[in-house]
Structure 1
């Protein structure tokens, strides 16, 4: 459930921005129920996109490699020259 910490704020931000944009004078002909449906749809679509783009592990970081073979071979080759 680590993704919910990121997805819920995304939904809120999108819903607020959609409400602000739809309350402009240019969209006065759109009814309230349609504005509500557009705002809810935008929030849901953005959360679904965010869920898939975040990947499986949000807080998991790869551990530091213990045996770095590339650097070892470079050091051996530089000593030979």
Structure 2
């Protein structure tokens, strides 16, 4: 099964996450099928906090991919920003 989830990057105490589509059996930071965006929880100033390719996320969901709870929340957040 394909999952859309976060993989961690960044430095110690400065996390940065990529939003990826990957097989659920792969490790958290292991191989991924496609990179769909990023999430920067410590963004300051005019840095982007979340960027997500909603078109590709919808494609993967239509193919049967499952979203994690955090990615689902981030997707709602980006949809709210697009309409505002």
Same-fold call, TM > 0.5? no
Q: Which has the higher contact order (CA 8 A, sep 6+)?
A: 1
Rg (Cα) greater in structure:
1
Structure with greater proportional helix content: 1
Structure with greater proportional strand content: 2
Coarse TM-score class (shorter-chain normalised)? under 0.3
With normalisation by structure 2, the TM-score equals 0.25
